[in-house]
Amino acid sequence: MKASEVIARYEAFCPQELSLPGDISGLQIGTLDKDIQTVMVALDVREATVAEAIAKHVDLIIVKHAPIFKPLKNLVTDTAQTKIYLDLIKHDIAVYVSHTNIDIVDGGLNDWFCDLLDIRETTYLSEVHEGQGIGRVGNISPQPLSDFVAKVKASFNLAGLRLISYDQDHSHLISRVAICGGSGDDFYADAIKAGADLYITGDIYYHTAQEMLTQGLLALDPGHHIEVLFVSKIAELLRKWQIEEGWVLQVLESQANTNPFQFVY
């Protein structure tokens, strides 16, 4: 079967047009006009991902984070970063990117986060297209902040996370939570407008954290890597479509560790 058939079905679910302006989405390396037998889903394309794809004879990688995110000045094998791209080209591995469109689409990554954390009665954190939005905000069963923090840690299998709060007493009740995968601190004002007690997003900047607290918003920063949920969920969809469409295709979930951060105790 053709790679284009897989991507056509993917884009019927998650169109590129949903992406935020200026975002990178769609085919970034290789061609979709080729026969494929194996597709792999990954969060990032790093050197470990490429080695894994080569070893497993992968034809197509569907990835959330674009491997090429800065303008290239050259394509030389002497540079470790550009070698990643050249190895993909050398082994005829196509790379298709689905970034903010999978965050925005109904039934996509932010909705999967809400399901995982039992956030109900959700709406969009910030509407970016008519009837479509980035992030989600909704209600949880009223509970102490400490209990919900423990739930987030367990749900994402985290060794630790950052709690944005001046208060060392975490017993106060929370009942309304906003969430945005990736680096979403730009949307914290929307969380306040939506009446959230707590905002969950990654890569929160120091001064932005202070501004949040000044305006009465608590926050959790579980890291950018919680988006790894993309891998299992997209693989699950591909396997579902494989049955529906009768595809002869092997679907793999990348096992490469691309999280650059560790907690040291």
Three-state SS annotation for the chain: CEHHHHHHHHHHHCCHHHCCCCCCCEEEECCCCCECCEEEEECCCCHHHHHHHHHCCCCEEEECCCCCCCCCCCCCCCCHHHHHHHHHHHCCCEEEECCHHHHHCCCCHHHHHHHHHCCEEEEEEEEEECCEEEEEEEEEEEEEHHHHHHHHHHHCCCCCCEEECCCCCCCCEEEEEEEEEEECHHHHHHHHHCCCCEEEEECCCHHHHHHHHHCCCEEEECCHHHHHHHHHHHHHHHHHHHHHHCCCCEEEECCCCCCCCCCCC
CATH of residue 205: 3.40.1390.30
- Is 262 within a domain? no
Q: What is the mean pLDDT of residues 22-45?
A: 97
Other Cβ atoms closer than 10 A to 216: 8
The answer, as to whether pTM is greater than 0.75, is yes
Annotated ligand binding at 78? The verdict is no
Average pLDDT, the chain: 97
- Is 258 within a domain? no
Same-domain status, 14 and 82: yes
**What are the residues whose beta carbons fall under 8 Å from the beta carbon of 78, sequence distance 6 or more?**
none
Same-domain status, 178 and 241: no
Annotated ligand binding at 106? The verdict is no
pLDDT digits (tens, 9 = 90+) for 97-152: 999 999 999 999 999 999 999 999 999 999 999 999 999 999 999 999 999 999 99
- Is 259 within a domain? no
Annotated ligand binding at 91? The verdict is no
Per-residue pLDDT band at 230 (split at 50, 70, 90):
very high
Same-domain status, 198 and 238: no
Annotated ligand binding at 65? The verdict is yes
Same-domain status, 75 and 113: no
The count of structural domains within the chain is 2
Same-domain status, 210 and 245: no
- Is 184 within a domain? yes
Same-domain status, 137 and 58: no
Same-domain status, 88 and 129: no
Q: Please state, for a pLDDT cut of 70, what percent of the chain lies above it.
A: 100
pLDDT in the model for residue 73: 87
Same-domain status, 143 and 214: yes
pLDDT in the model for residue 265: 81
Residue-number span of the structural domain to which 57 is assigned? 3-101+227-253
What residue has token string 């197509």?
60
